[in-house]
Chains A and B, each alone.
Chain A
Amino acid sequence: MEKKNDHIRLLRQCTPWIAITAFSGIVFILFTLYRFFQDRYLFRDEIVVTITLFIAVVFITRYVLMLFVQRALTGEERTDKEKLDRYYARSFAFWLMEGFVYLILFGIFMLAVLDEYRYI
């Protein structure tokens, strides 16, 4: 019976590491914007700014949602089985969204490659 909870315990231990990653993602975005403001030439390039902001929004949203998925494992009032039900339902929604984001990103990336690396 005790072994059963290892699954939840292991999954729950991911939460602080996800939070660290999310925090560093935000730091990276702020740092990038700081460098953009320093480099006037780079900041004028609309495509660079658009791509940076796009990546910033996508990645920060991603980590926030990942923390939301992890929250499914908390709550004393729920049984382990209910927690896992919620966790896997949210996990599926997250990875479905992630899959589509990567499909779009990969599509844009391949178009850029075919267009002689113009926007990379």
Chain B
Amino acid sequence: MRDTILDEYEADENSYLSVYARGKAAQSGTWMIISSSLALMTILVTVMIITDESGWRYWRIEEISAMVFLVCMAVKYVLLLIKGVRLRKAVRETAFTGIESSARLYLITWIFIGSLALIFILAMVLYLVAKVEVFGEISEGLFRIY
């Protein structure tokens, strides 16, 4: 139904997305896929290094926190990868529903990243103000990896 609406737009000069925007959207989808894939590979190698250096049974809070961070980043890049694929597909098929759902996925991705960032800021503030040591250890864990 929604695609039919788009077809009506496509028929006249006021088409929903111009040919230019469609081309750029497809290209940005391609680069989104490339970036996300590389980021996921980097995360995978890092996880392999952590598990290789010490077995998971001997993980301290540093390793656990670094792993949680990496998992969150992996989720983010998986979402961006799906968004890239969905955007390319939607643009190729000029499917309005697909374009809109890729935008929705993009919003979900940013809400996810932003929420993590808010938790992170809270952790930093707690560390600096209340000197809750666990956040210092989490930070140490991230230093050890990067």
Contacts and interface: CB of A to CB of B under 8 A. Distances in A.
A85 B20 CA distance: 7
B28 A10 contact: no
A106 B41 contact: yes
Interface in A16-51: 16-18, 20-21, 23-25, 27-28, 31-32, 35, 42, 48, 51
Task: Decide if the interface of chain B is mainly helix, strand, loop or mixed.
Answer: helix
A14 B124 contact: no
Contacts of A101: 35
Interface in B16-46: 16-18, 20-22, 24-25, 27-28, 31-32, 34-35, 38-39, 41-42, 45-46
B57 interface: no
Contacts of A88: 17, 20-22, 24-25, 28
B34 A21 contact: no
Nearest to B144: A120
Interface residues of B, number: 47
Task: Decide if the interface of chain A is mainly helix, strand, loop or mixed.
Answer: helix
Identify which of B17, B35, B99, B106 gathers the most chain A CB atoms within 10 Å of its CB.
Answer: B35
Contacts of B21: 81, 84-85, 87-89
B107 to A, nearest CB: 5
Given A3-B2, A11-B103, A28 B25 contact: no
Q: Contact residue range for chain A?
A: 35 or more
26 contacts: A3-B5, A6-B103, A7-B100, A7-B103, A10-B104, A10-B106, A13-B107, A17-B107, A18-B110, A21-B113, A21-B117, A81-B14, A81-B16, A84-B18, A84-B21, A88-B25, A92-B28, A92-B31, A95-B27, A96-B31, A101-B35, A106-B41, A109-B45, A113-B45, A120-B49, A120-B146
- The 7 lowest CB-CB distance pairs between A and B, nearest first, are A17-B114, A24-B117, A95-B31, A17-B110, A88-B24, A10-B103, A92-B28
